[in-house]
Amino acid sequence: MEINNKKFSKKDLTIIILVVLGILLCIFGLMDKIFEHTIFNFFKNLTRPYLDKTYKESQRLFLTLSLLKGAADVIEGSTVNVNMILGMQIEVGDIIQPVYDMINIIWKISLASVVVLKIQTIYQEIFRVKLATILIFISLVSYLPYTVFKNSITEIFKKISKYSFFVLIYIYAVIPGTIFVNSMISNYFEKEYKTPAIVQLNQNLNRLNNIKDSMLSLDQNKSIFNIPGQIDTAKQKINNFSTEINNISHSIMENAPIIIGIILLTSIVFPVLLMVLLYKLTKSIIFEKILKS
């Protein structure tokens, strides 16, 4: 076949036919269905269960930390006034301050994790099939002139086609692939380390609530006029408070680095590293191998 005295090989004709066919499929809306039932649904089915499960678990952890932070906040701002009985006033917030600071750090990191996971869960809602079809259409239309005429102008169109195709691959293959690989890695760390740490955190929440309730209430078994009895109760409360806070502090200090580390790894570090790695790999394959020719 010849156009303006230019001969086309069978390979060139095949490429032209496929490009034109792709353009027609985009125009008549058939590309939407093809892309949706192949690439889009494939990656969606791979990543959706993990994202839904992880987001719900992240919400529960954030709720637990919020309750723990609330209980610690009440205690941190409390004052036990035993001046009349023991001749002193105890600022219990000074005792619990290190625990409160650590809980606050975990809470902030957990909040960031919830936000990141929420963005990931609405990923398919943001990048719908229609956008993929538009990118495919731009790529094909831009590439078509280059298949017929090769000059400086069509080279520019070819670059537009190349970048459109790369954006398509990155959005609909690289990012979902990153989420899927990250889910495989994250499941191990969460099962082995994060889940036991969260169980211990829930136990700390119950213990901290018990401390809060006992510190802010009088001994109902003794009369308020029973000064010796109230003195003994106040001393016992202070001793129990110090002991329990030390135990909780030790437990939180042990589990906090595990929870913080796994949240950071699974929500931020691993996704970023995997995305960069897959970006480099995809760029190398597409730019240097396929589209270079």
Nearest Cα to Cα of residue 1 among 148, 179, 101: 148
Most confident of 45-49, 84-88, 124-128: 45-49
Looking at residue 24, its pLDDT comes to: 92
H helices within 149-269, ranges in order?
152-169, 175-189, 195-215, 227-264
Domain count, the chain: 1
> Is the Cβ–Cβ distance between 231 and 84 less than 8 Å?
no
What domain range is 192 assigned to? 2-290
Query: How many Å apart are CA 146 and CA 168, to the nearest integer?
Result: 20
Structure tokens at 247: 């135990």
Q: What confidence tens digit (pLDDT) does each residue in 41-68 have? A: 888 888 888 778 878 877 887 887 788 7
Q: What's the mean pLDDT when you consider all of the chain?
A: 75
pLDDT band at 142 (very low <50, low <70, confident <90, very high): very high
139 or 280: which leads in pLDDT: 139
pLDDT at 141: 93
Q: Is the pLDDT of residue 88 over 50?
A: no
Gyration radius (Cα) of the chain, Å: 31
What type of residue is 228? P
pTM: 0.63
